[in-house]
Structure 1
Amino acid sequence: MTDLRFQINDKAIERLPPPENGRYIVRDTELKGFFLVVGARKKTFTIQGDLRGEGKRAATVRVAIGDTSEMSTRAARAVAKEYLAQISRGQHPKGGGRISKATTAAALEAPVVPNIVGITLRAAWERYKISMVRKKRSERTIESYRDHIERIFAGWLDTPLTELGNDPAKVAAKHDAITEENGPYIANGSMRTLRAVYNHARKTNRELPADNPVGSIDWNGETRRDTGMGLADLKGWFLELAAIDNPIRREFHLFTLLSACRPAALKEAKVSHIDLRRRVLHVPKPKGGAERAFDIPLSRQMIMCLMRAIRFGRLMHPIEAREWIFPADSADGHLAEQKEDRKTLSKWGNDLRQTFRTIATPAGVSELDARMLMNHSIPGVNAGYITRHKLLEDHLRTQQQAVSTTIFNALREATSKDEKLVAWLALGATRRTIRRAKDEFAKREVTAPAHKLP
């Protein structure tokens, strides 16, 4: 069969027919020297390049990267780039030595083995990223790892992991530098990511030192942030929240407090996730991925909050509101950034999760129930015997209602006397606000500017 030439990708590989006899080659049009060898039983990613020594071409080297059944095209392409870069520097990818005299191609060609010698941080990250997708890690988790590798360790992307493994002092110094420039939490988090990528790379690269170089660092001390509010702080916070002009953002922060849902998951909440018959909001992709999906039981106040968000969304973003509970004018169509100026709103995000957990105690909610409401893991051997959804319909909703009632009781008479809170939370306030907005819009006089003729 005649050799083919096109941009190699996973879908195209699946459609390739077996050869009638022997084998044939598919050359990649995107990366020169990268191609696929298609045989009767398997398809192998391969690279080929010219080794040069003393200014002359020493030999043409062909090296197999791996079987298509074992790795994706994306991962193979990353490894191919690394191999070709080594060959351009006069180094054999499987030998590591620099060519000093002419050698035959047969002597230099390496056997087909899955191990990747001299793998760089960039190539190791590409392979680790594939493994995270296969394990169904959430997009937010993958993005967090990507930020660490491609931003914090940008200067190390083309550094061989062997170099880092043999020089742990270099890694320790990097940790110190990150701590100074980005802070202790980012420094520790980025090093955990580097540790994970290194450990994964060593599974297929046994030449890497067994001791992970991240073990050489002195970890920064980490303490849980104590930023939650007590009952006495809620009135002031509600007044700050009522002053926010955007009603959708206002409801988003309130629901974060009432539900203790992580903001990243709540931003992606859809109208279709609400089940009013069962009075729950389904969270399909919380922290930990789809395997940790759960339902949030809804109190009366939480349902009213969601209904206000939906009504305001239909008015402000009618197209996006068909899908999202908290729509916005963003690329994804939903709220993209929940952060507020601390001078405008003193507490948001995880501050409100801590507040929920703090208020759960005076509300009479047990430690176990609070953990289940917040979708936290339950410690102890007995955790495996608890069936959460059996408690959801009755018991957990009662506990959720207790927290919401305690929060609103802390406001006392403010919800009926303060003008801002009345305009926001009073019965019929949303309907009056929307009607007023429509009337004001109808009264506007739209005049087109006069165009002067040339």
Structure 2
Amino acid sequence: MADIRILLNDKNVARLPAATSGQYRARDTELKGFYVVIGKRRKTFAVQGDLRQEGKRASSITVSIGDAREMPTREARATAKVYLAQISRGQHPKAEKRAEEHEAEETTGKPVVGITLRAAWERYRDAHMVRKGRSELTIEGYRDHVERLLKEWLDKPLVELADDPAQVATKHDEITKESGPYIANSSMRTLRAIYNHARKTNRSLPVDNPVSAIDWNQEQRRNTAMGPGDVPNWFMQVAVMHNPIRREFHLMSLLSGCRPTALMEVQPEHIDLRRRVLHIPKPKGGAKRAFDIPLSRQMILSLIRAMRFGRFLQPLEARSWIFPAASAVGHLVEQKEDREVLSKWGNDLRQSYRTLATTAGVSEFDARLLMNHAIPGVNAGYITRHKLLEDHLRSQQQEISNAMFAAVGDILTKSPVIRSWLAPGASQRVIREARAARQKEDRRIAKAA
């Protein structure tokens, strides 16, 4: 789940939903650097600030304040102000505690433990990922690996992992059994990257990365795409979905081939109907990879239906989001469906887009441009994408949409449930009927009272 910004008070903190996986942060809108970290079971107040020495930024540090379930927000905010003031003066808020621990280690004759996985992760996150504009989704994925799958190692010095790489291999085997081969491999790639980054500033760490001890799981490309023959049944499944906003979200996912997390965060100002484009400001790879998706006629109608239903069902949230929802952030945050209800969703639809683009006669090169994929080869630097957008890519997008709707066949006109969804004026009629039913019920309740 992506980080959010809200006014932190007892009421809002209590309402924050638990993370479905990993953690996310709710940053305070009034006090910069003050936030609460929300996991599956815990909520923790913390601050983050730049520790400066001689007026220059030395490092970015994160300091926990306390358990949000036990500490009032007012008390946490007061502590946060003290901590942030100390950080601004170049003082670590918990320097005395750290010094005492260091003195105790020297007294017992044990060496200083060196950088821990927690500290190395925080530095990698702030100095590498955030600074280079990595997307919130990418950062969240790494955070989930470190703070959930490798949680027991958070306070373990990296040197201990390097000196005993067998424990890393054992951990990889455990994650493979519990969570699957793909997640096990990706979590180890995260650990490898953090260790390599930590060695840049901690030369005492062994050169050999402890991850080199594992036997990587074999990975195969997932093949969950729909072909033309699968499309009619999928359209029927979408048509009977109860929530019309989710219905349009899934349709737009198929029509655009856009990554679900990027599509969830689309805002009204990102749509330019005059140019017939949808701007994606923060795709995978961060803001520097921002791009425009050319819109076919079917895509424009889907977006219009989503906005109409949004204004009716979620009027407040619809001011800011195309796919509004009653969530903490105001837009859809979960796109998973029961497979018995909807057989394909999420990245299944992205793969389906690529497959159906081929049946529409769209070249691999154009499909890559439409999906914002990198173009391989030395000629990639000579391609100016926006020059192709207005005419060529839009026509290719239209061909893909036409092929998808052609695959649906005559149920577009013969199926009542499909017509009640996609027929001209259907969405307006549904909203009028729903509004009339709501007003009738309100009158009945008022009369009974």
TM-score, normalising length: structure 2 = 0.79
Matched, 1:98 2:86: no
Mapped contact 1:79–1:123 kept (Cα < 8 A): no
Matches within 5 A, 1:22-101: 42=54, 68-74=56-62, 77=92, 83-84=98-99, 86-87=101-102, 89-91=104-106, 97-98=109-110
Pair 80,170 (structure 1): closer, same or farther in 2 beyond 3 Å: farther
C-alpha distance in structure 2 between counterparts of 1:227 and 1:378, whole Å: 24
C-alpha deviation, 1:98, in angstroms: 3.3
Pair 291,336 (structure 1): closer, same or farther in 2 beyond 3 Å: same
C-alpha distance in structure 2 between counterparts of 1:337 and 1:406, whole Å: 28
C-alpha distance in structure 2 between counterparts of 1:165 and 1:90, whole Å: 21
Matches within 5 A, 1:209-220: 209-220=206-217
C-alpha deviation, 1:80, in angstroms: 5.1
Alignment deviations for residues 221-271 of structure 1 (CA, whole Å, 9 cap, x no partner): 111110000001100000000010100000000000000000000000001
- Letter matched to residue 343 of structure 1: E
Q: Which secondary structure state, in structure 2, belongs to the residue aligned with residue 74 of structure 1?
A: strand
Mapped contact 1:78–1:126 kept (Cα < 8 A): no
Task: Give the match for residue 299 of structure 2.
Answer: 302
C-alpha deviation, 1:206, in angstroms: 0.5
Q: Which secondary structure state, in structure 1, belongs to the residue aligned with residue 367 of structure 2?
A: helix
Pair 254,37 (structure 1): closer, same or farther in 2 beyond 3 Å: closer
| Aligned length, in residue pairs | 374
Name which of 124, 129, 143 aligns with 1:128. 124
- Letter matched to residue 331 of structure 1: A
C-alpha distance in structure 1 between counterparts of 2:164 and 2:95, whole Å: 26
Higher gyration radius (CA): 1
Matched, 1:119 2:84: no
Mapped contact 1:117–1:205 kept (Cα < 8 A): no
Pair 393,82 (structure 1): closer, same or farther in 2 beyond 3 Å: farther
Pair 73,412 (structure 1): closer, same or farther in 2 beyond 3 Å: closer
Mapped contact 1:162–1:208 kept (Cα < 8 A): yes
Task: Give the match for residue 445 of structure 2.
Answer: 446
C-alpha distance in structure 2 between counterparts of 1:288 and 1:428, whole Å: 39
Name which of 203, 208, 221 aligns with 1:206. 203
Name which of 419, 424, 448 aligns with 1:422. 419
Pair 410,78 (structure 1): closer, same or farther in 2 beyond 3 Å: farther
Over the aligned positions, Cα root-mean-square deviation in angstroms equals: 2.5
- % identity of equivalent residues: 62
Alignment deviations for residues 123-149 of structure 1 (CA, whole Å, 9 cap, x no partner): 111111111111111111111111111
Task: Give the match for residue 229 of structure 2.
Answer: 232
- Letter matched to residue 122 of structure 2: E
Unaligned runs of 5+ in 2: 1-30, 34-45, 64-86
- Letter matched to residue 337 of structure 2: E
Task: Give the match for residue 257 of structure 1.
Answer: 254
C-alpha deviation, 1:192, in angstroms: 0.6
Task: Give the match for residue 345 of structure 1.
Answer: 342
Unaligned runs of 5+ in 1: 1-9, 13-29, 44-67, 100-115
Name which of 368, 372, 386 aligns with 1:371. 368
Matched, 1:432 2:420: no
Task: Give the match for residue 57 of structure 1.
Answer: none
- Letter matched to residue 62 of structure 2: R
Considering fraction of residues, name the structure with more helix: 2
Pair 11,266 (structure 1): closer, same or farther in 2 beyond 3 Å: closer
Which of 1 and 2 has higher RCO (CA within 8 Å, sep 6+)?
Answer: 2
Name which of 177, 182, 185 aligns with 1:185. 182
- Letter matched to residue 147 of structure 1: D
